A and B are shown apart, each in its own frame.
Chain A
């Protein structure tokens, strides 16, 4: 069994992303139309010229029909995909493979989530009939298990670690304040975040991703055709996905300081892309900062920091906008909120802007000339999650 990847066989030639907001005045259809319109324009294609569609939404729609109906597609294949919070990335992954297979010349991946119509705070999973013995903990509480475990394992002072993850939130808010598409555009300092009341373990609401509606999309084609549509395509270097089997929940060797699925997806993606020194080869990474401890652990799982040292690198500013490897330069889930189906594609949209030199000056990264960006998207909980890692580059080879 091998994961061969499709390095340099598919290119992203157009992208779009709506502002992420509490869109009280827009429904799922509106968000899809807005993202698709921007994406068609970006690629210079109309909907008739797209051969197939992958439609990522976790809970806002079922089947391909809602997307076909919203965009009034005529006799087109539309597949709805869902893979927890990595749904948007999964849509792109499927679209890329379809083009790589030769089945289609062009394909669109679109992710959308209309979260704010539920009437409840936070994200809420659609209940699947079960025997009633499943955990009913919030994601915040599950991820809050990381901090005490990490502090214990690496001998880090609990209060210092708490400030470290608050620094992650502060950094992402700093970046988000420079992004008009972000939902929260206010900077937050570390002290203010630490002062807030805990909602789960040591985490306050400011350690959690926001809740927003949004949509993002990409159009892909065969790499050799990319320059027909754009001078600055992004070539797909790696697409990796791991669905965990949940053993972390019942395996007493699992210690809550790592996400095994993310580490495995990272290793596979680096192998596909031929990356050996991610910290210095990548220009930037967008990672799934659903909660601040998640981003900290991901720095180690994705090989940016040595085990037990991410907290030091974070405090040293390695991952700041002007750091050695900018992480979440767009503001991350922290600033954008997390419309589940859209987030994965929103991350890739930032790679699209940064590597093409189209990000606004105030958040344009200095490392863009490295020409490679990584996006990481996870869904589920420590011990039981799915993880996606994608790598994209400006050059072939």
Chain B
């Protein structure tokens, strides 16, 4: 049996009320969209989703895929950053799959059809357009990760039964690399194309898997049929139109909470569905993006024994919708506020970073074998007792801790001042003075509980400087 071993979504903490967009430009809007913080990019969103997907599994992926339509780097592979942050084995290959929306479902399909024992598919997107554009309002930022594999790699919670893909070249949405704005052809043209492609792929997928379109509809009660459909794609009218044509309603709808997560949308919907899926149910994931892809799964009994590490439902509930629209615009670079009059950070050194991969990307400290003293960053000489070269690596990314003291720095350079900074003592030993993210100065207090999250501290000379920050446990 091959299929999904684990699935997870990661939603950034911040939410933009669509009414805030309307209040500024004139107009209406309802619901919220998720917003990646200024220190998040698609790579860090994928890391967080990947961490959640790998939690509680022992599978070592042979390949890591990363799909996004908004990569941080071109030329350089972004998946290697995720590979380092997830501390995957060096022998695990890491590839970007980009930079179209379809690359998300494409990576998932490739993983399902591969013969490798386990493949980790990550996808993330940050969906933005010019101010007051449809994408700004309807888009959502998220990461998703699906661990695909054989039973030998771990219990399969959703068996892959097969599917179908149809490809056709036509222009519906397009963006020149570097542009913020995605342009679109007349909506009706794409809708017509997608409805036809979607129906064709749907019928092909049913035929390929031998399952019925819907329970009871095929006249043969005994035939296994699709219980639920998920429809992902950047063309909302086409998605809704296809649901209507199938006489179904999609089982996952994030429109009013997250927004459309682009290249991560298909995997995010799948992960959301699996959070409440019942054993034995059949689900079809339909993606309408530059063609149509249909993947059909059967939920297994293993699903009940593998609840998500942190559910998407919980993350939706934990969001902060107090993000002002001007801050959203500043975070996305649409609005450029005056920076503090401090020098911008220098670019981080490639060779220095190369020597500290485990620390910088994996948050691995060291522990004195004799005294137990924890060193963050790792050290060769112990501050307690002075032992030399008698340390073992100490992975700390999943450690939690408590804020001992903190300060708000309104002078330091930051892409989004002020800097909130705390001295954190980790449970089981170790202390680090570290920046705290996803909070506000009025929310933080001594004694607050903190976990670690992978972030982009800054960018200089085009180099994204990744490291870890603390985040309040919610």
Q: Which residues of A contact B (CB under 8 A)?
A: 118, 120-122, 124, 127, 129-133, 135-138, 140-142, 144-145, 148-149, 152, 198-201, 245-247, 249-252, 254, 256, 383
B429 touches A252 (CB 8 A): yes
Is B410 on the interface with A (CB-CB < 8 A)?
A: yes
Point out the residues of chain B lying under 8 angstroms from A136, CB to CB. 345, 412-413, 419, 457
Is B135 on the interface with A (CB-CB < 8 A)?
A: no
A137 touches B431 (CB 8 A): no
B383 touches A145 (CB 8 A): no
Point out the residues of chain A lying under 8 angstroms from B383, CB to CB. 245-247, 250-251
B342 touches A127 (CB 8 A): no
Interface string of B402-427 (1 = CB under 8 A from A): 00111111111100000101010100
User: With A129-B352, A132-B353 known to touch, is A137 a contact of B430 (CB < 8 Å)?
Assistant: no
User: With A137-B419, A149-B405, A249-B431 known to touch, is A132 a contact of B411 (CB < 8 Å)?
Assistant: no
Within B420-474, which residues are at the interface with A (CB < 8 Å)?
A: 421, 423, 425, 429-435, 446, 457, 465-467
A121 touches B410 (CB 8 A): no
Q: What are 9 A-to-B residue pairs whose CB atoms are below 8 Å?
A: A120-B342, A120-B343, A133-B467, A136-B412, A138-B412, A199-B411, A249-B431, A252-B430, A383-B433
Q: Which residues of B contact A (CB under 8 A)?
A: 341-343, 345-346, 348-349, 352-353, 355-356, 359-360, 374-377, 383-384, 404-413, 419, 421, 423, 425, 429-435, 446, 457, 465-467
User: With A130-B352, A133-B467 known to touch, is A144 a contact of B410 (CB < 8 Å)?
Assistant: no
A250 touches B376 (CB 8 A): yes
User: With A249-B431, A250-B376, A251-B383 known to touch, is A201 a contact of B352 (CB < 8 Å)?
Assistant: no
B407 touches A145 (CB 8 A): yes
A120 touches B341 (CB 8 A): yes
A148 touches B425 (CB 8 A): no
Shortest CB-to-CB span from A242 to chain B, Å, is 15
A131 touches B374 (CB 8 A): no
User: With A127-B346, A132-B457, A256-B405 known to touch, is A141 a contact of B419 (CB < 8 Å)?
Assistant: yes
User: With A249-B433, A250-B432 known to touch, is A133 a contact of B412 (CB < 8 Å)?
Assistant: no
- Which residue of A133, A149, A246 contacts B356 across the interface (Cβ within 8 Å)? A133
User: With A131-B355, A137-B419, A148-B446 known to touch, is A124 a contact of B343 (CB < 8 Å)?
Assistant: yes
Shortest CB-to-CB span from B121 to chain A, Å, is 28
Closest to B347 in A: A132
A133 touches B377 (CB 8 A): yes
- Which residue of B374, B423, B466 contacts A256 across the interface (Cβ within 8 Å)? B423
A16 to B374, CA, bound (A): 48
A141 to B431, CA, bound (A): 18
Shortest CB-to-CB span from B346 to chain A, Å, is 4
A121 touches B409 (CB 8 A): no
Among B343, B356, B375, the one with the most A-chain Cβ atoms within 10 Å of its Cβ is B343
By Cβ-Cβ distance, the 4 closest A-B pairs, closest first, are A132-B348, A141-B409, A247-B383, A127-B346
Point out the residues of chain B lying under 8 angstroms from A256, CB to CB. 405, 423
A198 to B418, CA, bound (A): 12
A310 to B429, CA, bound (A): 32
B405 touches A200 (CB 8 A): no
A252 touches B425 (CB 8 A): yes
Point out the residues of chain B lying under 8 angstroms from A121, CB to CB. 341-342, 411
Point out the residues of chain A lying under 8 angstroms from B433, CB to CB. 135, 137, 249, 383
Closest to B376 in A: A250
Point out the residues of chain B lying under 8 angstroms from A200, CB to CB. 407-411
Shortest CB-to-CB span from A200 to chain B, Å, is 5
- Which residue of B407, B425, B432 contacts A141 across the interface (Cβ within 8 Å)? B407
Beyond contacts A132-B353, A247-B384, A252-B431: 5 other A-B pairs, Cβ-Cβ < 8 A, are: A130-B352, A131-B348, A132-B360, A140-B409, A251-B383
Point out the residues of chain A lying under 8 angstroms from B432, CB to CB. 249-250
B446 touches A152 (CB 8 A): yes
B412 touches A250 (CB 8 A): no
A198 touches B410 (CB 8 A): yes
A250 touches B374 (CB 8 A): yes
Shortest CB-to-CB span from B427 to chain A, Å, is 11
B342 touches A131 (CB 8 A): no
Shortest CB-to-CB span from B302 to chain A, Å, is 39
A246 to B465, CA, bound (A): 23
Point out the residues of chain A lying under 8 angstroms from B355, CB to CB. 131
B375 touches A133 (CB 8 A): no
A280 to B421, CA, bound (A): 40
Point out the residues of chain B lying under 8 angstroms from A201, CB to CB. 407-409
Point out the residues of chain B lying under 8 angstroms from A199, CB to CB. 410-411
B409 touches A138 (CB 8 A): yes
A126 to B429, CA, bound (A): 33
B412 touches A130 (CB 8 A): no
Closest to B407 in A: A201
A121 to B435, CA, bound (A): 22
A137 touches B356 (CB 8 A): no
Shortest CB-to-CB span from B462 to chain A, Å, is 14
Point out the residues of chain A lying under 8 angstroms from B465, CB to CB. 132
Point out the residues of chain B lying under 8 angstroms from A250, CB to CB. 374-376, 383, 430-432
Closest to B420 in A: A141
Closest to A130 in B: B352
Shortest CB-to-CB span from A331 to chain B, Å, is 23
Shortest CB-to-CB span from B81 to chain A, Å, is 13
A145 touches B467 (CB 8 A): no
A145 touches B409 (CB 8 A): no
Closest to A197 in B: B410
Among B376, B419, B425, B434, the one with the most A-chain Cβ atoms within 10 Å of its Cβ is B419
Shortest CB-to-CB span from A382 to chain B, Å, is 9
Closest to A381 in B: B433
A373 to B313, CA, bound (A): 67
Point out the residues of chain B lying under 8 angstroms from A254, CB to CB. 431
B352 touches A131 (CB 8 A): yes
B348 touches A130 (CB 8 A): yes
Point out the residues of chain B lying under 8 angstroms from A247, CB to CB. 383-384
A140 touches B467 (CB 8 A): no
User: With A133-B356, A250-B374, A251-B383 known to touch, is A141 a contact of B411 (CB < 8 Å)?
Assistant: yes
A251 touches B431 (CB 8 A): yes
Point out the residues of chain A lying under 8 angstroms from B353, CB to CB. 131-132
A148 to B446, CA, bound (A): 9
Point out the residues of chain B lying under 8 angstroms from A142, CB to CB. 407
A198 touches B348 (CB 8 A): no
A309 to B457, CA, bound (A): 40
Point out the residues of chain B lying under 8 angstroms from A149, CB to CB. 404-405
Point out the residues of chain A lying under 8 angstroms from B411, CB to CB. 121-122, 138, 140-141, 199-200
- Which residue of A118, A122, A130, A135 contacts B349 across the interface (Cβ within 8 Å)? A130
A145 to B406, CA, bound (A): 6
A56 to B466, CA, bound (A): 36
User: With A250-B430, A256-B405 known to touch, is A133 a contact of B419 (CB < 8 Å)?
Assistant: no
Shortest CB-to-CB span from A147 to chain B, Å, is 9
Among A124, A145, A148, A250, the one with the most B-chain Cβ atoms within 10 Å of its Cβ is A250
A141 touches B405 (CB 8 A): no
Closest to B464 in A: A132
A122 touches B356 (CB 8 A): no
A133 touches B360 (CB 8 A): yes
Shortest CB-to-CB span from B132 to chain A, Å, is 34
Closest to A249 in B: B433
A122 to B346, CA, bound (A): 17
